[in-house]
Amino acid sequence: MGKVLMVQGTGSHAGKSLLTMALCRIFSREGLRVAPFKAQNMSLNSFVTPDGCEFSRAQAVQADAARVIPRVEMNPILLKPQDRRCSQVVAMGKPLCVTSAREYCALTPQLWPLVARSLDTLRESNDIVVMEGAGSPAEINLREHEIVNMRVARYAKAPVILVGDIDRGGVFASLLGTVALLEPEERALIRTFVINKFRGDPSLLDSGLEELKQRTGVSTAGVLPYFTDVSLPEEDSVGLENSPTVQPEPEAVLEVAVIRLPRIANFDDFDPLRREPGVRLRYVDSPGRMGSPDLVVIPGSKATVADLEWMRQRGLDRSVSAHRRDGRAVAGLCGGYQMLGQYILDPGRVESDRPRTEGLGLLPVKTVFESRKATCQVKADIVSGHGLMAGSQGNSVTGYEIHMGRTFGTGSAPFRIRERSGNPADDPEGSLDSEGLTLGTYLHGLFHNHDFRRRLLLHLAAGKNIALPEGAVLDMEREYDRLADLVNRHLDMEAIHRIAGLKP
C-alpha cells in the first residue's frame, strides 16, 4: 500500500487545495507515483473523467499537477449546492440524490464505504496519496457524521499538515484552537503547521511560532507568501472576489463581463480570458455594474431557472438584451445557454417546480429538462465561420459536457461533435444567431482552446478597429512547476518528507 499524507486547514480557503497541488507536483518530479484524494468536496466547479464520471474540478487540476489521468476515486463524493438548504449528491461520478444537510448526515454511513474503497484503490497503485480535507476538522457539531477530515486521517493513519490563513488574521488562535478541539487520537496526527498568505518579513512570526510549538508540541514547516503571479484556477467562488486581472486596467482594450450568478458553476471556464493580455474580465451582479463590455457571458448554473429569475429581479435580463440590441456580443455556457433560449420546459420537475419558464429569447432554441445527466468529454469541429466564429471554421475544439436536459431549435449549430468520451459521434451542438453575435453552447472548457479564444477576441477587437496584444499559450506545466518551486523554497521539505515516511 502506498504512503499517505493529509493536508487539512483551519477553515475554508486556507490553502489546502494549493498545497495539495504543490505536493503532488513535487513528489511527481521526484519520480514517485502520486495521486490526489479528497473524500468529499462541496463545489459547483466539476469536471468529467475520460470514462464519463463527474467529480470535482480541483482534484482534476491536482491530478494534472501529479501528471496522472483523473479518475473518480480521487473525489468519490461531490456535493453540488442547489440552494441554501439542498445539494445534489454525486457519488462515484453519478447523481445519487438531492438532500438537505440534515438528511446528508444520515446518508454518510452509506457513503463511507465508497470513501474507504476509493482511498484503498489509489494506495494500491501509487507510492503516495496526498489527501485533502474540507473546511476545518474542528467543526465539533459535525464530528459524528464527517467523512472527509479526521475520520479519513484515522482510517489511513495519515500524518496531517494543518494550514492556517494569516491574511484573514488570527492565525495563531485558529491553529491553536483547531488542535485544542480535536480528540487526543486526532491531535496526535497533526505533525506540522504551515502558515499561508503572509505579506512581509516572516521573521516577525518567530516568537509566535515558538509559543505555538510550546503550547501544542507541533512545529511549523514554513511560511508561504501571499502571491498572485502563478496562474492557477480557483476552487470555489470565494476566490472570485479577489481574482486579479493579469493586465492593469489602463492596458485593457477589450472588456468581458461575466454575470455573477448566485449558483455560478464551472467559473474556471473564464480563467483563460482573465489571463489574456489586453482583456479585462469582470464579474457583475447588477445593471449598474454592467458598463459597456465588448462581450457579456452568462455562465453555467446549478439552478438555471432560479438564477434566471434572480437576473430578472435585478434587471440584468434587460441589461443583457439591451447590450445585444446595441450590436454587441453575448455568449451563454451550459445553464447560460439554456437561459438564452425561448423557454425552458421542466415537465418532470427535475430542477424546479415550474413546468415552463420564459427564456431571454436571444436564441431560437428551447430546453427540456430530463432526469438523465449528460457527463462526457467531447471533441468537436467548428462548422460556422461568421460573427464570433470568424476565422475558426474547420478548426477543432475540446471540452466537456455536464448538464441535465436537451436544447434544440432552428438556430444554426456552430459546432459538430465528433467524439464523446472516446466514442465516435456526429451531432450538432450549440446555437448561433443570424448575426453571429449570440452564441450558446454546452461545451465547458471552450475558452481553454487557445486558437478559438484568440480568434474570437480578435474579431471583437477588429469590430472596434483596435489591435489586440499578442497572447501567449498558457503553459500549465510551467505554472505547476513555479508553484512547486515556491513551496520548495519556503517550506522545510526535508521535514515533510520525513513526516510522510519518504526519503528526501
- Catalytic positions, written as ranges: 334, 444
**3-state helix/strand/coil string of 352-400:** CCCCEEECCCCCCEEEEEEEEEEEEEEEEEECCCCHHHCCCCCCEEEEE
Cα separation, 438 vs 329, whole angstroms: 6
Kindly state the cell numbers that stand for 36: 490526489
| Residue 395 CA from chain centroid, whole number | 27
Cα separation, 412 vs 7, whole angstroms: 48
Look at the block and give the residue holding cell 509559543.
211
Contacts of 92 (CB under 8 A, 6+ apart): 53, 72, 76, 114, 118
Which run of H or E residues covers position 91? strand 86-91
CB crowding 165-181: b at 16 or more within 10 Å, else e: bbeeeebbebbbebbee
Cα separation, 453 vs 164, whole angstroms: 37
Contacts 24+ apart (CB under 8 A), 184-190: 185/154, 186/137, 186/150, 186/153, 186/154, 189/6, 189/150, 189/153, 189/154, 189/157, 189/158, 189/159, 189/160, 190/160, 190/162, 190/216, 190/218
